[in-house]
Amino acid sequence: MFLDVATISIRAGRGGDGCVSTRREKYVPRGGPDGGNGGRGGDIWLVADPALTTLLDFRYRREYTAGDGERGGGNRRTGADGNALTVPVPCGTSVFALPEDVLLVDMVEPGQRFLLAAGGNGGRGNWEFRTARNQTPRKATPGKPGQSLTIRLELRLLADVGLVGAPNAGKSTLLSVLTAARPKVADYPFTTLTPNLGIVDLGDFRSCTLADIPGLIAGASAGKGLGHDFLRHIERTAALLLLVDASLPDPGAELQALRDELSQYDARLLALPYAVVLTKADLLDADEQTARLAATAEWSRRHGGVAVQLISAVRGDGLQDLRRLLRDLSPPGRRNASGPSPPELSAGP
């Protein structure tokens, strides 16, 4: 099951009730009102946690509730505030309010905090209602309910470079040899069912994050083969590597099919810098490699590609040149963020 979307219900804490109390003390026959206010309900905060990589935890817990405020007491004692609740989510999580499906916030920066639901205000004790005409009021107000809503969490991976290709193009194999990631690798299509991330050491204290996206097929932009679930993960990438099997008779046709799917899903993806990687060079002889490389380079020049690299992940051919290419594609200091600025959420019920 592809677990990058979750729906949860949240409720901030209710404010404590105000207290009706009259001061009773020796030698103070008319002490007057001294009922205190109720405590404020606890807030619910979201925090982006870089240690999390999936929304799996939200599959088992669907409801989140902060603590209620306590009732006010005599002697003008204010009730204790309810305990706030902090909900950690992976970096790259978009939060939508249901049923309108309105984007509330993109949690992209590690440690980023967002007030998701504010706790209710505490009720007023009878001390607050004293007047010259009514010096001993018997009135208090109840606490206000906290904000509550249902939200949808959607995780989109944050990566510098996304690997895009047809099933069995060699994306997982390439990720496994360039990084410490260990994705499932097998000789049948759709081995990868969920995206994988890996960190590539580029030398000189530089690195980049590489995302292995499950294989795209014709119709992926329309949702075929869970295409929408896969394609959303490349929306935040800074660049793309288009991988194609060099042993195919016409790599250009395969590349054009990938480009068409990206365009139909979101035309802005075509504006990302990209390079073409011809994989499985070990299946070709020297003359075939030269011919495939020349034909693909011509296609890349016509469509704005940065470069073309021929590799064999099994033998390690071309990998050092590919690392240099990744240095050019992933500029230093990039911030993993995209999308509109999050709107403000009201601070009180």
Cβ proximity of 153 and 296 under 8 Å: no
Give the per-residue pLDDT at 7: 95
Nearest to 79 by CA among 147, 138, 140, 31: 140
Q: Give the number of C-alpha atoms closer than 13 A to the C-alpha of residue 5, restricted to the C-beta side.
A: 10
* Two domains, one topology: 5-155 and 161-329: no
DSSP code, position 179: S
Give the per-residue pLDDT at 329: 84
Specify the residue for token string 């992940």: 313
Give the per-residue pLDDT at 222: 41
CATH code of the domain occupying 5-155: 2.70.210.12
CA–CA distance, 216 with 230 (Å, rounded to integer):
8
Output the tens digit of pLDDT for each of the chain's 349 residues: 334 789 999 999 999 999 999 988 777 777 789 999 999 999 999 999 988 877 888 988 999 999 999 999 999 999 999 999 999 998 889 999 999 999 999 998 899 999 999 999 999 999 999 998 888 899 999 999 999 999 999 887 677 888 888 887 888 888 888 886 554 444 434 444 456 778 888 888 788 888 887 666 554 444 444 444 566 767 778 889 999 999 888 888 889 888 888 888 787 888 889 999 999 999 889 999 999 999 999 998 898 888 899 999 889 899 999 999 998 887 665 444 333 333 333 333 3
Give the per-residue pLDDT at 49: 93
Give the per-residue pLDDT at 191: 43
Give the per-residue pLDDT at 181: 56
Give the per-residue pLDDT at 335: 42
Q: Token pair of 200, please?
A: 């590539």
Nearest to 69 by CA among 113, 125, 116: 125
CA–CA distance, 303 with 258 (Å, rounded to integer):
12
Cβ proximity of 122 and 15 under 8 Å: yes
Cβ count near 197 (within 10 Å): 17
Specify the residue for token string 């470069």: 307
Give the per-residue pLDDT at 230: 61
CA–CA distance, 81 with 183 (Å, rounded to integer):
47
DSSP code, position 122: P
CA–CA distance, 310 with 299 (Å, rounded to integer):
14
Give the per-residue pLDDT at 172: 82
pTM of the model: 0.66
- Strands 196-203 and 206-212, how do they pair? antiparallel
Give the per-residue pLDDT at 215: 64
Amino acid at 184: K
Instruction: Tell me the helices (H) and strands (E) count for the chain, helix number first.
Output: 6, 14
Give me the residue spans of the domains in the chain: 5-155, 161-329
CATH code of the domain occupying 161-329: 3.40.50.300
Cβ proximity of 319 and 178 under 8 Å: yes
